[in-house]
Structure 1
């Protein structure tokens, strides 16, 4: 009888930990911020949710304060991540830079910096650079606990396998075990994700009024998009959902793309394409920041090409917006800071979408700016850490 009771107690404890992990993950992702919302999302009895929340509040993993909007009854108490002693380290890789930071367990970025890095130098060089940067960030936080690592990569990512799969401009990265190498180096839970998906997660977490159906478009040296469906990132069957880079468009003609095909959106709408076209006109461009500087200085050719870029991107995205019917489309990346680009993108969506689709559609720009991908990588790392949480 004693042995049977012990087995039942163990099962109850495991179930409790599972509920706690799910509660933490939902609060971390922004999908729920009250006991009532947790009950609705998880489909569980209020007593079970209250028990899990009470335990997490006692442990300091959650805090409960303030009051949210009432739906007819008592105003709900707002749940948020608690504790400053635990943290995750995160990184957002671009074509020519590497941004690293620290996110505390309450979901706030408390430190970030940008380092020069060429993604074409390969994964081993990236591991070395990341290792040095993370070592310094960890050393600067004595007495605190590293919960995990989150990395966003500018290519198609196999999240389950932890590697980049068939990238077009990342020599040496194909199926390199990047996640496992980092996890072994730092002996902690590690997640990797596509940069546009990480940006979408970061932007979703920052929304004051959550758009549970949302598209976040990254427009910089390369282009891509992340889809938020019912408050969660949608990765697709093989992790390639939202990859609009190589969508075929008549406007691109037969220009060859880095993927080996012709007529891809990337060849006319990306920062790399604008840089190429400016170079053909005699203006040397080192990276997308040079294009931004030219447009801000009212350079006529750069401004015209950036405006065309926004129009081409908007034309392709209008078909996706018509199909998906989101409540918001947000622009991020370098080009999202340029009004000619944003204006032509927005105009093309209104022209190319059904009026019912755009009737209440929010078309805006990133709330987090350069930190959106970093914040998303941090949130994903927290989510993974909380999935293994026990108390």
Structure 2
């Protein structure tokens, strides 16, 4: 609670947890002696003297986070308060298999640690673009990640960094990171985001479901996987999952690039398609607007079922206005009116860092649970 800012002083903790002040005082004393928290400054008075504000100590160690895509990885070093201290993006090839990719990512993370002046790594987290068995920390039957099936990623990371390690799905962690970003900005007004649906739209497509600050994963951690929902626009298209007609075959990178090439556009990959759309190329605009409609139609069923407060659109395609506008339009057209009465539909505020913020947040929780 201190880490997320949901409680900033002893009175907050006592009130939120329903514990007597003496118990809170004892717990805080343990954290102070362990060097994990500190009290500094003054908060707003609540009828008496100004309370001292609790913070996690930034010098208590650092967290490492990696958000792996198919062709790049976003890496970050975070303080114990969950703030990004340093970050960078490196090229990778997820299809090259886990050994080479993990070694490359680990080396780049060590560079971040070396430059930070904080040698103690408390935890390391990684989010991956495929179904993740979070209990065992490994990818389960990924559609386009040869060699990753049931590879012990969490064990590899724990051994490499001698620290707490966590692994999760990228859309889930982007959702958690976005939720943390929105929650911090809403803290002053005390209006928290209760339920949120995060759409990751990039090389692949997926959803993260966040309820009261926690990811909803479902019985087998597959909740939010809209990539393999069958849609009319993809009828007959073979998918890597073994079925045909899946949403991702028309709105994922491969489908978008194939459609643009068929229209005569000079594209090699999704970034090319995005650049063309930003330049106003009518072929790219048309293609991505149609992709937005298709995604929006699928998302409408999810919104009707889940009835979230907020839908956030993230990933590379979230920067393309025709794509975002088409999703927004389709949601308002296809959802039940009550589902959209108070619904906020917006582009990501966390941007490229949503994934590393999310996995960093999850890793922080695990590390603190182990330390205390």
Could you state the TM-score of these two structures normalised by the residue count of structure 2?
0.91
Matched, 1:327 2:309: yes
- Check conservation: 2:303, 2:339, Cα contact below 8 A: yes
For 1:358 and 1:74, locate their aligned partners in 2 and report how far apart those are by CA, in whole Å.
Answer: 44
CA deviation map 1:354-379 (0-9, x unaligned): 22221111111111111111111211
SS of residue in 2 equivalent to 1:383? helix
Matched, 1:134 2:109: yes
CA deviation map 1:281-317 (0-9, x unaligned): 2334333211111001111111011111111111111
| Stretch deviating more after TM superposition (29-38 or 175-184) | 29-38
SS of residue in 2 equivalent to 1:28? coil
User: Which protein, 1 or 2, shows the higher relative CO under an 8 Å CA cutoff with sep ≥ 6?
Assistant: 1
CA deviation map 1:197-226 (0-9, x unaligned): 111111111112231211111000101111
Match of 2:83 among 105, 108, 112: 108
Unaligned runs of 5+ in 2: 187-191
CA deviation map 1:57-93 (0-9, x unaligned): 56553345554697x9998775443323410111110
For residues 345-364 of structure 1, the aligned pairs below 5 Å read 345-364=327-346
Q: Partner residue of 2:269? A: 287
For residues 71-86 of structure 1, the aligned pairs below 5 Å read 79-86=54-61
CA deviation map 1:230-267 (0-9, x unaligned): 22111111111111110112232221111111111111
Give the aligned CA root-mean-square deviation in angstroms: 2.3
SS of residue in 2 equivalent to 1:367? coil
For 1:202 and 1:184, locate their aligned partners in 2 and report how far apart those are by CA, in whole Å.
Answer: 26
Q: Partner residue of 1:315? A: 297
Aligned-pair CA distance for 1:106: 1.5
- Check conservation: 1:30, 1:205, Cα contact below 8 A: no
Matched, 1:306 2:298: no
For 2:154 and 2:338, locate their aligned partners in 1 and report how far apart those are by CA, in whole Å.
Answer: 43
For 1:215 and 1:191, locate their aligned partners in 2 and report how far apart those are by CA, in whole Å.
Answer: 22
For 1:40 and 1:271, locate their aligned partners in 2 and report how far apart those are by CA, in whole Å.
Answer: 49
SS of residue in 2 equivalent to 1:388? helix
For 1:213 and 1:75, locate their aligned partners in 2 and report how far apart those are by CA, in whole Å.
Answer: 33
SS of residue in 2 equivalent to 1:27? coil
Q: Partner residue of 1:341? A: 323
Instruction: Count how many residue pairs are aligned between Structure 1 and Structure 2.
Output: 364
- Check conservation: 2:171, 2:208, Cα contact below 8 A: yes
Matched, 1:230 2:222: no
| Stretch deviating more after TM superposition (178-187 or 137-146) | 137-146
CA deviation map 1:7-31 (0-9, x unaligned): xxxxxxxxxxxxxxxxxxx333455
Aligned-pair CA distance for 1:279: 2.0
- Check conservation: 1:31, 1:231, Cα contact below 8 A: no
| Stretch deviating more after TM superposition (315-324 or 268-277) | 268-277
